[in-house]
Chains A and B, each alone.
Chain A
């Protein structure tokens, strides 16, 4: 069966510090991968998605970037965190075949980020 991991679970960082959140998927190959952010009391906002290694699409221009160095690894980064980067970050995967649109997305446990 497939599993998705995210770490760290919780992170408190000062403004201006760098960020690296990691997401890995097990039990599948060539997944589509996604990063979402959920602000307090709000829905999910898609940040990035990837249909393959090195292929990243950005949905919202911002202080964050994403990379996919391996097939089942997705990393969310920032060089300098802002207060507004605080939130709950969710990674998700869906079955994908060479960029073909897929459907159901399965989510990781999430990372709570607090920028002070």
Chain B
């Protein structure tokens, strides 16, 4: 079975600081994709960043970057220069046809 684990149910960070959200997954596949989605209070799921498993280079998207460790099956998200608008639930997801989601990490950015 393919599983995604986010071990941090809640996190808090001050504005302008850096925070890292953890995610581990389990799969026997060799080719797959990994994602981080953000769900603000509106509950719209918004893609934050994507990583292809065959790429060794870590993906970056403005203030968001990932640390992808394929052998360890780890996929963490780093948010630099945190902003109040980053407050949201963050979901790690893994898969191909169908995405397997973790249970999410609630991130609160404080002034």
Contact of A105 among B42, B99, B102, B103 (CB under 8 A): B99
**How distant is the Cα of A18 from the Cα of B33 in the complex, in angstroms?**
36
Contact B91 A43 (CB under 8 A): yes
**B11 interfacial contact with A, CB 8 Å:** no
For residue A49, which residues in chain B have a CB less than 8 angstroms away from its CB?
97-98
Contact B104 A43 (CB under 8 A): yes
**How distant is the Cα of A72 from the Cα of B67 in the complex, in angstroms?**
36
Nearest-Cβ distance from residue A105 to partner chain B, whole angstroms: 6
**How distant is the Cα of A92 from the Cα of B104 in the complex, in angstroms?**
18
Per-residue contact bits, chain B 6-35, to A (CB 8 Å; 1 contact, 0 not): 000000000000000000000000000101
Nearest-Cβ distance from residue A81 to partner chain B, whole angstroms: 21
Contact B103 A46 (CB under 8 A): no
For residue B99, which residues in chain A have a CB less than 8 angstroms away from its CB?
44, 46, 105
Closest residue of B by beta carbon distance from A32:
B97
Nearest-Cβ distance from residue B45 to partner chain A, whole angstroms: 4
For residue B91, which residues in chain A have a CB less than 8 angstroms away from its CB?
43-44
Contact A88 B103 (CB under 8 A): no
Contact of A104 among B44, B47, B97 (CB under 8 A): B47
For residue B42, which residues in chain A have a CB less than 8 angstroms away from its CB?
109
Contact B104 A104 (CB under 8 A): no
Q: Which of A38, A44, A59 has the most CB of B within 10 A?
A: A44
- 12 extra interchain contacts, Cβ-Cβ under 8 A, other than A44-B45, A46-B100? A38-B43, A42-B103, A43-B104, A44-B101, A90-B45, A92-B45, A103-B52, A104-B35, A105-B47, A105-B99, A109-B42, A109-B43
On A, residues with C-beta under 8 Å from B are 32, 34, 38, 42-46, 49, 59, 88, 90, 92, 101, 103-107, 109-110
Listed A/B pairs (12) with beta-carbon separation below 8 Å: A32-B97, A38-B43, A43-B91, A43-B102, A44-B45, A44-B99, A46-B98, A49-B97, A49-B98, A103-B96, A104-B47, A105-B99
